[in-house]
Amino acid sequence: MPSPLIILHDATQKAWLKFCDPHEILWSTQPEEVIDHLLYLEQKVAKEKLYAVGFLSYESAPAFDSAFSTPNQTDDFPLLWFGLFKEAQTINLSSCRASNFELSPWQPTVLDQQYAKAIQEIKAAIAQGDTYQVNYTIRLRARFTGDPFGYFRRLVAAQKAKYAAYLNLGDFVICSASPELFFLYQQGHLVCRPMKGTAKRGLTHEEDQNQADQLVRSVKNRAENVMIVDMIRNDLGRIAKVGSVNVTRLFEIEKYPTVWQMTSTIEAYTEANFAEIFKALFPCASITGAPKVSTMKIIAHLESSPRRIYTGSIGFLTPENRAQFNVAIRTVWIDRRMNIAEVGVGGGIVWDSTVEGEYHECLTKAQFLTHPAPDFALLETIRWTRQEGYFLLPEHLERLQKSAAYFDYPCDLPKIKKALLEYAQSFIDSQKVRLTLKADGTFAIQSQPLPDSRGLVQLVPAKAPLSSQNIYLYHKTTFREHYEKAKPEYLNRESDCEVLFWNEHGEVTESEIANIVVKIDGKLITPPVSCGLLAGVFRQKLLEQQIIHEEKILLSDLIKCQEIYLINSVRKWRQAKIHTFPHR
């Protein structure tokens, strides 16, 4: 069996640490051995200046309190696994070799009816006073072949996971893209930062900010968050110095690629040892519910399979007596013997929870599994003429700034504007200027002669719809895979031809490089942005001037159009006609 390989992100040092060739390995499937192993690990780390790196599964909880109940586990998945290592190598994750992998679609192991029944049972338990909140979770499974590290790299690239970890232990592999801190310990100072409260990211900058604002104001989410904060305060109080437990941040909102998360921070000072910290805090209150003992009994009854590493904890203890452990959410376990990948998702169920709302939250949280991580730049194409200079430059820069804020791209607008103006000083003829902004904040400017806008454009309908839920339709970027996939196999290259896109509801959206305007009954109308399209700056100007108006346009409406136009800020107005009408 190959030697274990572990790679973790050290959030304090902002570095990736690699551990290989362990000096010693400790693992156990017996609850009564867990605390002894933790005490031994701490002793070896202090005495021999080693690193202890590994995990505790959720099912290890009874080792710390015999009153804790967990789902039955019949396989040999460890309750505890730790390696003792002589050194930690700091590495560049992106330079590590990764191979391809194949993953089948994820399938839930709990059917809709089972999920609804579980929610009903939880509400009955709440009504009886047995619990206030239950963190009920389900599993999803998929066939997995290929390189697990390649999959881990993709997860990390797609997520802002401060506490990510990769553990290749031979028969099984753990790929954790966790953003949640269980605890950070350094020189007697303990920090816990539970996550409780989730909202889906919006599609546009404005919608996204609205989602964040609604999460902050949500009575339900704030109540859940406070409940967990109080539990962790009580847990810390068991080992903290008197008067040292403080809530230093409450209801903070953190942005991730697919969701907004609400977090709070609780700090304390302690003289407790490694095992005592786990005994007081594990499992994290954010993934059980309240009160912990009775709620874990409900979880053990309702959840049909063990959580294993999911909602357990992965981390390390250093020779300097510094420890970092995550809450193992957004964590995939891969069984290499069976070629099966498993992940858990869930949420806190309270009295006013709905089946539909909680199931939707599970699916939202599971988006991290498939969320693409394209390497793209933000893009603006701007018209320049001697008469006008840059056409609608403030509007272009405002759109760029909003998309940069959405994707967390650094954007120095004054510097970009200055560079654009300097770049234009050498222009003689009219130009189409291309501005790109990368994820690291660097930008580039290119130009070419302004294209001819004369002539009738042939519009060829896309062969398949685009999803109006695709965020990349709402931001101008260099990532255009969705457009390419929807293009017909043939295009009339002999003439000025563009693809006309439509969404899953049969509504017209846009062309490859322009918004669409049609005249019906003498009125110029353009589809609303919510149909799944880019809010063009020229389109916005025409709306403000009330020259065009927003209204949904079905594909079937194109038959009765008196005129069709394509509009953008580079070519302005171009007349178009449908080249081939789709068969529907």
User: Catalytic residues, which ones?
Assistant: 180, 196
The rounded Cα 330 to chain-centroid distance in angstroms is: 9
Neighbours of 503 (CB within 10 A): 23
Determine the 3-state secondary structure of 511 from DSSP.
strand
Nearest in space to 318 (alpha carbons), one of 558, 530, 8, 95: 8
Longest CA–CA span in the chain (Å) reads 85
Strands (E), 391-528: 431-437, 443-449, 457-461, 497-502, 508-511, 515-520, 523-526
The two three-digit tokens of residue 399, written as one number: 């759109």
515 touches 539 (CB < 8 A): yes
Q: Which helix (H) or strand (E) holds 396?
A: helix 393-407
Determine the 3-state secondary structure of 42 from DSSP.
helix
DSSP 180-200: -EEEEEETTEEEEE-EEEEEE
Q: What angle do CA 389, 392, 398 make, to 5 degrees?
A: 130
Number of residues that make up the chain: 584
DSSP 1-23: -PPPEEEEEETTTTEEEEEES-S
The two three-digit tokens of residue 105, written as one number: 């679609």
The two three-digit tokens of residue 509, written as one number: 């959206």
SS (H, E, C) 38-95: HHHHHHHHHHHCCEEEEEECHHHHHHCCCCCCCCCCCCCCCCEEEEEECCCEEECHHH
Q: What is the β-pairing status of strands 313-317 and 51-56?
A: antiparallel
Strand partners, 25: 83
Distance from C-alpha of 408 to C-alpha of 410, rounded to nearest angstrom = 6
DSSP letter for 466, please.
B
Number of C-alpha atoms within 13 angstroms, CB side, residue 114?
Answer: 12
> Token match 């859940």: residue?
224
Q: Which residues contact 428 (CB under 8 A, 6 or more apart)?
A: none
> Token match 């701007």: residue?
382
φ/ψ of residue 509, rounded to 5 = -120, -70
328 touches 313 (CB < 8 A): yes
φ/ψ of residue 266, rounded to 5 = -120, 135
> Token match 């996204």: residue?
208
Distance from C-alpha of 420 to C-alpha of 437, rounded to nearest angstrom = 13
Torsion sign, CA atoms 423, 424, 427, 432: positive
Distance from C-alpha of 368 to C-alpha of 119, rounded to nearest angstrom = 24
> Token match 């391809």: residue?
100
Nearest in space to 271 (alpha carbons), one of 237, 239, 236: 239
25 touches 53 (CB < 8 A): no
